[in-house]
Amino acid sequence: MAIPDYQSLMLPLLRLVANGGDYRLRDTIDALAQEFALTADERNEMLPSGTAPLFDNRVGWARTYLKQAGLLEAPKRGLFRITERGKAVLAKKPSRIDVKFLDQFEEFREFRSRRPDAAQDSPQPASAPIQSVLDTQTPEDRLAEAYRRIRQNLELDLLEQVKSSTPAFFERLVIDLLVAMGYGGSRQDAGRAIGKSGDGGIDGIIKEDKLGLDVIYIQAKRWEGTVGRPEIQKFAGALQGHRAAKGVFITTSGYSREALEYANLINTKIILIGGQELASLMIDHNVGVSTIGMYELKKIDTDYFEGE
């Protein structure tokens, strides 16, 4: 199943600690993961920032909101438990606890009024569909969604820029990307290799590592239509002619299903990089892009307070 949003976790979390005992966040995370039957992949899914597992983060925010509403309290560092108010809420057997439900408590309304994005939590009739999405998102979710949108737009713009470049510039771009990824030894070595072979479907040869213990054969093509199986077969044949075990086919377009299946079936290792992945790799390795701003997300350093 999909990873539940933080509001969907509020009631299950409160029920989990209903016996009045003291709980660690980690224990409740594990218990809720079992309750929602999350898979290992879902448990391991990270925030886009890579700073924490997505599910763990959402359970943490559910706890924070319940605490701010007075339904949970922290008796000592690292522990929390249900309050009398929390027990009274459960006694009424609510079907769901969410931001709208918690808004009945003055402490929670004060908490929201102190938050910079508090206005986004308030019902806005004119934008109800947008509001319903915001209400299911933690602050990290909102940052992640904004990042995804910015990155998707950048990938599209970057790919259009690459497609409009000259063949010679595209070859240099491929060199820069492969070197940035750790291949090709020095840029000078890579520059001599790319574009020099021109032998039966091979555009160039590049070192796999700085020592040149192995080589990778390259096919780099600006392409408008879908690359089909014949092109990959031609490349594979060229590799076999050179007794080569590894090759990379890079294009600005995409690959047909038959081309992808063929590359997976043959013994020769051929990596197919399409336009979307090309743009993504360029962004990841800072090729053709520049940083315009950086935002640091910070959390409590629990080790710092251990000696308290």
pLDDT digits (tens, 9 = 90+) for 269-301: 999 999 999 999 999 999 999 888 777 777 777
Closest CA to 199 of 155, 143, 240: 240
Per-residue pLDDT tens digits for 19-28: 999 999 999 9
For residue 6, the model assigns a pLDDT of 94
Q: Does residue 211 or residue 228 have the better pLDDT?
A: 228
HSE-CB at 268 with a 13 A cutoff on CA atoms is 24
Per-residue pLDDT band for 132 (boundaries 50, 70, 90) equals: very low
For strand 215-221 and strand 204-207, is the pairing parallel, antiparallel, or unpaired?
antiparallel
pLDDT of residue 251: 93
* Predicted TM-score (pTM) of this structure: 0.62
For residue 215, what pLDDT band results from cuts at 50, 70 and 90?
confident
Residues in Cβ contact with 68 at an 8 Å cutoff, skipping those fewer than 6 apart:
102, 107, 108, 111
Residue 264 — very low, low, confident or very high, per pLDDT cuts 50/70/90? very high
What's the average model confidence in pLDDT over 149-160? Answer: 87
Residue 241 token pair:
């002619």
Whether 251 and 222 have beta carbons less than 8 Å apart is answered as: yes
| 138: pLDDT strictly greater than 60 | yes
- What are the structural domains of the chain? 7-121 (1.10.10), 161-284 (3.40.1350.10)
Predicted confidence at residue 227, as pLDDT, reads 93
Q: Are 43 and 126 in contact (CB under 8 A)?
A: no
The amino acid occupying position 206 is: I
Q: How far is CA 164 from CA 104, 249, 267, 283, 288, in A?
A: 57, 19, 35, 18, 14
Mean per-residue pLDDT, 167-173: 84
